[in-house]
Amino acid sequence: MVPNVLTIAGTDPSGGAGVQADLKAFSAHGAYGMSVITALVAQTTTGVAEVHEVPPEFITAQLVTLLDDVRVDSVKIGMLANAEVIRAVVEVLDRYAPPHVVLDPVMVAKSGDRLLAPEAVGALRDELLPRVDLITPNLPEAADLLGEPELADVDGMPAQAERLAGLGAKQVLLKGGHLSGESSVDLLYGDGIAEFLTSERVVTTNDHGTGCTLSAAIAALRPQRPDWLTAVRESKDYLTEALRASERLDVGHGHGPVHHFHHWW
C-alpha cells in the first residue's frame, strides 16, 4: 500500500528545504505526497529574504478541505511561523487525530534567520509537542524548547532527550548534526528505548534542508515499517547517502550553494 503522507510546512523556492524538499523525500520513499502551506518564504540556501505568513484560518481551510476528503497515513509538520498557526494545527490534530505525526520544530534556518516567532516557542512546547508522536529537534532547537544552553557534546544527549520527553513528546529524535567530529550522532529516545544512531560526518557545505529531508523521510517510511527505530535508521542512512552524493555532483561553475544535495534526485 502506498501511504498518503501530508506535510504542513513553509516553502523554499530553491527546493532544498520546506514543502518542496518534503514532497521529494516522500516520493523517494514510496509515498504519495500532499501538502498544506503555512508560509510563503523568499529564500535560498544562503538565507531568508522575506516571509509572507498565511492567515491561520486559511491554514485551517486547507487542512479541513483535505482531511474531509483524503485518508492520511502520516504527517510531517515543519515551519509554523507563529502561535496562531500552531493553534490552528493543534485544533485540526485534535479533530482528525491522524496517525504518525512527526514534528520537526523548525525555529531558525541554518542561515540564522528565524522561521518561528520567538514568542511562539512556548505554544509549540506546551500545546503542540504533547500531541505529536515524534519530535526531531536539532541541538539549538532542543536548547530553546528547554530554556537551557546548547549541548556541546554527545554525552549530554540522553539526559536532554529525557527532559524533552518530560515535556510530553512520546518519542524524541535528538539530532547531533550541529556538533563536530568524524561522526554525526543522533539519539532516538522514548517507549523504553534510548538508541544512538551514528553515521560518518560527510564533509560538505551542501547541508541546507538536512533536517527537513530526514523528518519527511521518517514520516513517509513510518506507515511502511514496524516501528520508529526502523524508519529512523533507514531515513538516516538515506540522508547520509544523499549528502555523499552531493559531493560527487558536477554542477559546473557559477552555481552557488543552491545546487545542494537535493539536486541529485
For binding to ligand ADP (CB under 6 A), which residues are involved? 138, 175-178, 184, 186, 199, 201-202, 204, 207, 210-211, 214, 236, 239-240, 243
Cα–Cα distances in angstroms (integers) from residue 16 to residues 36, 122, 155, 210, 261, in the given order: 17, 28, 31, 8, 8
The position carrying cell 491561520 is 56
Q: 173 - beta bridge partners? A: 188
Q: How far is the CB of 67 from ligand ADP (least distance, A)?
A: 27
Question: From the CB of 194, what's the least distance to ligand MP5, in Å?
Answer: 25
56 vs 211, which CB is nearer to ligand MP5? 211
Which residue lies nearer to ligand ADP by CB, 15 or 56?
A: 15
Q: 82 touches which of ligand MP5, ligand ADP, none (CB within 5 to 8 A by kind)?
A: none
Residue 78 partner contact from ligand ADP, ligand MP5, none using kind-dependent CB cut-offs of 5 to 8 Å: ligand MP5
> Minimum distance from CB of 32 to ligand ADP (Å)?
24
3-state secondary structure of 190: strand
Least distance from C-beta 202 to ligand ADP, angstroms?
A: 4
Residue with cell 515524534: 134
| Cα-based torsion angle of the residue sequence 111, 179, 79, 196 in order, rounded to the nearest 10 degrees | 160
For residue 236, the partner it binds in ligand ADP, ligand MP5, none, with Cβ less than 5 to 8 A by kind, is ligand ADP
Return the number of the residue (190 or 209) whose C-beta is nearest ligand MP5.
209
103 touches, from ligand ADP, ligand MP5, none (C-beta below 5 to 8 Å by class): none
Rounded-to-integer distance, Cα 167 and Cα 123, Å: 12
* Cell 551542501 sits on residue: 206
Q: What angle do CA 9, 12, 16 make, to 5 degrees?
A: 105
Sequence length of the chain is 265
**Which of ligand ADP, ligand MP5, none has residue 204 at its interface (CB below 5 to 8 Å by kind)?**
ligand ADP
Sign of the alpha-carbon dihedral angle for 161, 162, 163, 169: positive
Q: What secondary structure, in 3-state letters, does 17-63 show?
A: CHHHHHHHHHHHCCCEEEEEEEEEEEEECCEEEEEEECCHHHHHHHH
Name the site residues for ligand MP5 (rule: CB under 6 A).
Answer: 9-12, 17-18, 41, 78-79, 106, 109-110, 115, 208-212
| Smallest distance from ligand ADP to CB 30, Å | 20
Partner from ligand ADP, ligand MP5, none binding residue 116, C-beta < 5-8 Å depending on class: none
Q: Which is nearer to ligand ADP, 100 or 236 (CB)?
A: 236
Nearest CB to ligand MP5, comparing residues 42 and 70: 42
